[in-house]
Amino acid sequence: TGALKCFSLLTPSCSPCLGGHSAGSASEWSVNGTPVDFSTDGRRRLSGGNLIIGHPDRTWDAGTYQCIATNSVGTILSSRATLWFAYLEMFKSQTRSAVSVREGQGVVLLCGPPSHSGELTFTWVFNEYPNFIQQDSRRFVSQVTGNLYIAKVEPSDVGNYTCVVINSVTKGKVLSSSTPLVLRTDGAMGEYEPKIEVNFPETVPAAKGSAVMLECFALGNPVPEITWRRANGVPFPSKVKVQKSSAVLEIPDFQQEDAGGYECVAENTRGKNVARGLSVFTAKPQWIQTATDTALAIGEKLLWECKANGKPKPSYSWLRNGETLATEVENGALSIAAVNLSDAAMYQCVAENKHGVLYSSAELLVLGKPLRTLLKARAGTEVVLECRPQAYPQAVTLWKKVFSRILLLPGGTLKIINVTKADGGSYTCMARNQFGTASTTGRLLITEPTRITQGPTNMEIIVGESIVLPCQVTSDPALDVSFSWVFNGQLVDFQQDKTHFERIFAGDLMIRNIQLGHAGKYICIVDTDVESLSAAAVLMVKGPPGPPSAVTVEEITDSTAQLSWMSGRDNYSPIKGYVIQGRTAFTLGWQALDTVPEVIFGNTLTATVVGLNAWVEYEFRVVSSNAVGVGEPSPPSAKTRTEDAVPDTPPTDIGGGGGTQSELVITWEPVPEELQNGDGFGYIIAFRPVGGATWTRAIISTPEVARYVYRNDSIPPFFPFDVKVGAFNKRGEGPFSSITTVFSAEEGEPAGRGDRQCEEHAAVFTCIFTSRGEDVSRPPSPSTQSPGVVHDTKPDTVGKVRVFGNQSSVNISALTGNSQYFLTVSAFNTAGTGPASPSVNATTKKASQPPMNVEWTLIGAQLTLHWDPVVAMETESEVTGYQVSTRFRFLSYSRVRTTAELTLPANDDYLIQVRVLSEGGEGAATEPIRIHRLSMSARGSGTQRPDNSPPSLAVAFVLSTFCSSLW
């Protein structure tokens, strides 16, 4: 209402001018493409071509208007005019929740303007009106969103905030409900780097001569400083202005050279952040070349070109008497190979981009010519023979061969009703005036009707399949027949669309690899010299569903999230169901999530995701499926963090032991960050002597720590303790692990060296234990004086193996080959370690060297190996056999066998090695024999020799021949 107080009548003007002829012209109007019906709307009326609207109404009168002017020459359209109404509705009267923040923390207060039309401006009131917020480096009001941003909250900011919205056109003003801002009581916020909350779009379109405003503001402690720069490093021209404590960059009178990248930098002592965007230059179309009025004789060629500049580049279309031409238009040019009388009309070229549209008009006048030498007509139709001689004064026309069904029309035109074969023949038109007589003769040929014998039919097809749409005809042999296809109103270009469209068997249309965009109406058009026929069919293409949209987290707890979404296009196959996927910073890509309901059917647009981890930031997306397949996923939802909760996962792999005397070392596997369930995460270590009743507890507040050492001189050596480890965070304590027995440190082991030796051999022990299955807690360590020798007189240098209970034997592995060892046995209990037994010495042997002179022959997939037998040396273990290994298996042979035959699978590469088996274990392997899959189709052979033994000439010749055959 406020926008219409200044006037009561809106009067768009339409003054037609067509081809230089204004007499007898008439005007019509359309709104949003629909003709205005003046007989049913008393508020609208015409006056001299102008449209007058009394008491305009926002609901009924807003839209795009266009004038249609018509006279005897033709019809043209005016430029378009848009009528809109500015308005501003009231805020909803609901109470706004209080916003609770810490001192030093940044905050954003949302305005949420009500429904409106027209540009808005925003301000905020603090506590009482009109105490408006004064913007500075710490506070900023966005004129894009209306939100209030406070970079760093101070105690003076506590109070009530009200958003004030003003419509720049109507000057109307509305106020929101107040939003209370309160301080939390759990301490002030520490310093943190800037976080940019107000950012300009990645792409900013800017019209020539317009004023561009870019906003940028960041939260942070200390308050960030905002600076601006161009991405190419070029300094700003003097016209550029920085306002509102550098939060707004204004570029007045925008020109082409102002386009490019812009960057906003927010920086404080804790760090900096950068926002980037691209400003794109735009311009509405402007004419460079237009068509002019043209007069042509029948049969001559018409070529009209119109060109316009603009950014983005304009698209072109042509109108004929106000109707869009679907054919003969290319790159803004209109071409008619041979004009006839029906082409005489008013034409308009239309150049358009997203910023504007231009119209230019021209008249085409077609002049008469003599009769065509041969005119064909289908039997049963009407034939019109026009005779319009160019003469002044006007000539009188006469016709020869006139029958009862032939009418002579004013102006000399001859009309034959319901022609038959008998009407065929020669016709002569004579023109006479006082200056003489002229004549012209043409022949009329009557043909049989053309019929479509098989046309396309409505069909359903699945995306990716191929189909043929038939179009077969019977026609008179005297006629030239041509076929064309129209798809959704556009002529099919078989050259441009040859990937999918091909014309076969005269008129049939083949569509290969059908896509969703190929669904629609197909029309086969059959053109002959005398008529045009058509047959149409609708093709429905079924495909996987389109991606869902608007995935929104409605409600979230510590382990669940309620989601809603909008379905995508079903692509002609009903959606059967949905799957919800999620990802976090801790997952590798997207993963399917459990939901309630477990199966989400196609008519369901909400679901609850269950089994989420607490205090983890999630993104969700939805994937739909139908009978055809699974569609593309939706865009991801906004990142949302689940609520915190008490830890529900205790640490694992509780263990320990070792250390120095009077120490209890406890270790565990840290709880991953995604399972910590909240801030303030740490561990509770509880231990007691085995059989004790009271637990001793210790707290560790660092989530990454995985080791705790308890020191007390009263701890006996190698004494068992019950140990358990739990977790806690700010929400409380979680469960403890199961109880594990851990022994305190042993007696007499020097600090540092014993621990270091354990750590060094831990990996070796694990490997041996895994592959051999032997019960060894620590492999012996070599002496620093002589490799492979340990001394019973120096306990600090002796490797130890512990056994328990009544066990009286042990297998010690991972010793060094060809080395002498001294071994003793001692008993121990909770009181300590007893005296050692007399030492026993033992000398180990090493595994044998690899076989020599390995030869191989490959025929097809059959590989034959041969090697020299290995004789053990004095320091080596006796040979018990041989092992041949490939990528797929290990084959063992007795020591008497020095050959092996293998059948190799096709289509792969192979590495083959041979090694000796002995009591000392597996010996070193030969150099690998490499056989490529190309070898499987040829014969080949080879020999492995020592490095100092060159291959024989015969072997070299075989190898070179084999390699040549591969190429």
Q: Alpha-carbon dihedral of residues 508, 513, 519, 525, nearest 10 degrees? A: -20
How far apart are alpha carbons 624 and 602 in whole angstroms? 8
How far apart are alpha carbons 233 and 220 in whole angstroms? 26
When pLDDT is cut at 50, 70 and 90, the band that residue 164 belongs to is: very high
pLDDT at 412: 72
Q: Is residue 128 part of a domain?
A: yes
Query: Domain with 806 in it: what CATH number?
Result: 2.60.40.10
Q: Are residues 270 and 298 in the same domain?
A: no
Residue that is last in its domain, among 615, 642, 669:
642
Residue that is last in its domain, among 493, 514, 542:
542
How far apart are alpha carbons 336 and 300 in whole angstroms? 9
pLDDT at 328: 58
Collapsed DSSP state (helix, strand, coil) of residue 549: strand
Query: For 341, phi and psi rounded to 5 degrees?
Result: -60, -30
pLDDT at 277 over 90: no
Per the listing, tokens 């490959």 go with: 858
pLDDT at 544 over 60: yes
> What are 312-339's pLDDT values in tens digits?
888 888 999 988 887 656 777 888 888 8
Under 8 Å CB-to-CB from 793, ≥6 apart: which residues? none
pLDDT at 90: 92
Q: Is residue 441 part of a domain?
A: yes
Q: Are residues 577 and 607 in the same domain?
A: yes
Q: Are residues 252 and 198 in the same domain?
A: yes
Q: Is residue 774 part of a domain?
A: no
Q: Are residues 137 and 69 in the same domain?
A: no
Q: Are residues 455 and 427 in the same domain?
A: no
pLDDT at 915: 87
Between 351-365, 512-526, 565-579, 673-687, the lowest mean confidence (pLDDT) is in 351-365
Q: Are residues 572 and 635 in the same domain?
A: yes
> What are 692-749's pLDDT values in tens digits?
999 999 999 999 999 999 999 999 999 999 999 999 999 999 999 999 999 999 875 4
How far apart are alpha carbons 659 and 745 in whole angstroms? 5
Q: Are residues 588 and 614 in the same domain?
A: yes
Q: Is residue 39 part of a domain?
A: yes
pLDDT at 542 over 70: yes
Q: Are residues 203 and 231 in the same domain?
A: yes
pLDDT at 560: 96
Beta carbons within 10 angstroms of residue 352's beta carbon: 18
Q: Are residues 225 and 303 in the same domain?
A: no
Q: Are residues 565 and 501 in the same domain?
A: no
Q: Is residue 965 part of a domain?
A: no
Name the more confident of 22 and 893: 893
Instruction: Concatenate the DSSP letters of all residues of 557-576 into one string.
Output: -SS-EEEEEE----TTS-EE
Under 8 Å CB-to-CB from 602, ≥6 apart: which residues? 567, 574, 575, 576, 577, 578, 624, 626
pLDDT at 967: 27
> What are 283-297's pLDDT values in tens digits?
889 999 998 888 777
* Total count of domains within the chain: 10
Name the more confident of 185 and 551: 551
pTM strictly above 0.95: no
Q: Is residue 963 part of a domain?
A: no
Between 345-349, 430-434, 447-451, the lowest mean confidence (pLDDT) is in 430-434
pLDDT at 159: 94
* Mean pLDDT, the chain, whole residue set: 81
Segment holding 965, helix H or strand E: helix 953-966
When pLDDT is cut at 50, 70 and 90, the band that residue 433 belongs to is: low
Tokens of 364: 């085409």
Q: Are residues 394 and 460 in the same domain?
A: no
Q: Alpha-carbon dihedral of residues 542, 547, 553, 559, nearest 10 degrees? A: 80
Could you tell me the residue range of the domain that residue 881 belongs to?
A: 854-942
Residue that is last in its domain, among 83, 118, 145:
83
pLDDT at 133: 92
Distances (CA, A) of 601 to 117, 269, 545, 548, 576: 39, 53, 14, 14, 6
Between 262-276, 452-466, 904-918, the lowest mean confidence (pLDDT) is in 904-918
Name the more confident of 947 and 432: 432
Q: Are residues 804 and 827 in the same domain?
A: yes
Collapsed DSSP state (helix, strand, coil) of residue 765: helix
Q: Is residue 152 part of a domain?
A: yes
pLDDT at 402: 53
Q: Is residue 635 part of a domain?
A: yes
CA proximity to 341, closest of 405, 393, 376, 384: 384
Q: What is the DSSP letter of 853?
A: -
